[in-house]
């Protein structure tokens, strides 16, 4: 397994496509997969529980709306949580495998992992559906990663402006454009 320690106070800087981005501190790959698997299951159960509570309440007859909602929530929320967990686990696994294969952490890894995850999850429907789902997964992750990147740049800009307004405080210097990804230490665990 690819074990790279990404812990640090300033994160890791990586240049991709002319954009400088700071990759947030993340767990090493094997722990990241388990964490994302559990987080996706919890998110699916909570969101699915709320969705099926409302849907079950709406579908039940008068006087039994709350009980009908709870019954639907109890039956369907764990299923939706499991579906989210499968997607999250596969995505994290492919993200780690792609990072290990490429030897770098940048925006391309989660985008490729989203495309591969979409393709693998719809592989039973045939090559055409698998290709379409892979493209949709990649495009979806382009939007997600792009939005996250621009939000991070915006928040860093706001932070620097806030430091400038405090008398006597100096903001940390912005990362220079010539900083690139430091080569992570590769340790193989058997």
Q: What is the pLDDT of residues 105-135, one digit of tens each?
A: 888 888 999 999 999 999 999 999 999 999 9
pLDDT surpassing 60 at residue 183: no
d(CA 189, CA 2): 8
pLDDT category of residue 163 using cuts at 50, 70 and 90: confident
pLDDT at 21 exceeding the cut of 80? no
Predicted confidence (pLDDT) at residue 32 exceeds the cutoff of 90 = no
Question: Which of left, alpha, beta for 138 (phi over 0: left; psi -120 to 50: alpha)?
Answer: alpha
Mean pLDDT calculated for residue range 64-81: 91
Confidence bin at 186 (pLDDT 50/70/90): low
CA distance 112 to 135: 10
What average pLDDT does range 128-150 have in this prediction? 91
Residue with more model confidence, 68 or 161: 68
Contacts of 108 by beta carbon, 8 Å cutoff, 6+ apart: 16, 98, 102
Predicted TM-score (pTM) of the model is 0.67
Q: Confidence band (pLDDT; 50, 70, 90) for 169? A: low
- Report d(CA 13, CA 5) in Å as an integer: 14
pLDDT at residue 38 is higher than 70 = yes
């Amino acid at each position: 397994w690819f074990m790279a320690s990404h812990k640090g106070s300033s994160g890791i800087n990586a240049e991709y496509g002319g954009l400088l981005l700071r990759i947030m501190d993340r767990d090493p790959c094997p722990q990241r997969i388990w964490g994302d698997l559990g987080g996706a299951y919890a998110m699916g159960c909570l969101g699915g529980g709320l969705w099926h509570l409302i849907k079950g309440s709406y579908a039940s007859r008068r006087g039994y709306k709350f009980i009908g909602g709870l019954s639907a929530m109890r039956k369907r929320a764990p299923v939706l949580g499991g579906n989210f967990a499968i997607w999250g686990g596969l995505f994290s696994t492919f993200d780690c495998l792609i990072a290990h294969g490429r030897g770098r952490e940048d925006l391309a890894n989660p985008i490729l992992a989203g495309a591969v995850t979409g393709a693998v999850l719809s592989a039973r429907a045939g090559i055409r559906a698998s290709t379409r789902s892979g493209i949709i997964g990649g495009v979806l992750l382009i939007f997600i990663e792009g939005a996250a990147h621009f939000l991070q740049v915006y928040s860093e800009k706001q932070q620097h402006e806030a430091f400038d307004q405090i008398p006597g405080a100096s903001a940390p210097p912005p990362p220079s454009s010539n900083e690139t990804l430091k080569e992570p230490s590769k340790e193989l665990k058997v």
